[in-house]
């Protein structure tokens, strides 16, 4: 994967921080720090958002914030940010399904008192984010 620009890294850092803040269990917080690892679509979204933000700043400086060109560019930023959020939610749903189903090596490396809160929180998150769980293809397995 290509290296991300400084701006794209900042976009992604903010988006990942939002995911970390959603969870109370240490297990899920830890997983959220790497939710974007190796995902090409995250990379593309982050770069697109960074470039669109830069374009919005430029159109604001050249034409003013009320100009139609700036408005269109600013809307593009908002739409791309929403798409990144939705895509990250799918990645979070995949992680939550793994935790909720107690799958993977994480359970062998986690203290017992941290497992149940993580499982419960993962299930709660999936219930509150059904669309992301369905898009990730995990909805049926976590509601069965």
Q: Is residue 134 part of a domain?
A: yes
Percent residues over pLDDT 70 in the chain? 98
Q: Is residue 109 part of a domain?
A: yes
Give the residue among 25, 105, 125, 41 at the shortest CA–CA distance from 15.
41
Q: Which residue has the tokens 């803040």?
A: 21
Q: Is residue 136 part of a domain?
A: yes
pLDDT at 144 over 80: no
Q: Is residue 1 part of a domain?
A: no
Distance, CA of 46 to chain centre = 11
Q: Is residue 54 part of a domain?
A: yes
User: How many Cα neighbours within 13 Å face the side chain of 64?
Assistant: 3
Q: Is residue 58 part of a domain?
A: yes
Q: Is residue 123 part of a domain?
A: yes
Per-residue confidence (pLDDT) for residue 36, from 0 to 100:
87
Distance set, CA 41 to CA 14, 58, 70, 79, 97 (Å):
16, 26, 26, 15, 20
Percent residues over pLDDT 90 in the chain? 83
Per the structure, the count of domains in the chain is: 1
95 burial level (CB within 10 Å; 0-12, 13-18, 19+): buried
pLDDT at 117 over 80: yes
Per-residue confidence (pLDDT) for residue 2, from 0 to 100:
66
Q: Is residue 81 part of a domain?
A: yes
pLDDT at 4 over 90: no
Domain limits at 131?
Answer: 6-143
Residue 45 confidence class, pLDDT cut points 50, 70, 90: very high
Per-residue confidence (pLDDT) for residue 1, from 0 to 100:
58
């Amino acid at each position: 994967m290509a290296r991300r620009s400084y701006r794209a890294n900042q976009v992604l850092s903010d988006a990942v921080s939002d995911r970390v803040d959603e969870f109370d269990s240490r297990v899920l917080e830890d997983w959220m720090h790497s939710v974007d690892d190796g995902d090409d679509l995250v990379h593309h979204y982050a770069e697109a958002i960074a470039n669109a933000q830069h374009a919005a700043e430029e159109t604001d400086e050249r034409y003013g914030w009320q100009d139609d060109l700036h408005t269109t560019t600013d809307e593009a930023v908002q739409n791309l940010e929403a798409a990144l959020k939705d895509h990250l939610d799918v990645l979070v749903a995949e992680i939550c399904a793994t935790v909720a189903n107690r799958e993977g090596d994480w359970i062998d490396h986690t203290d017992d008192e941290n497992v149940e809160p993580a499982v419960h929180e993962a299930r709660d998150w999936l219930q509150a984010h059904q669309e992301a769980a369905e898009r990730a293809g995990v909805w049926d397995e976590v509601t069965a």
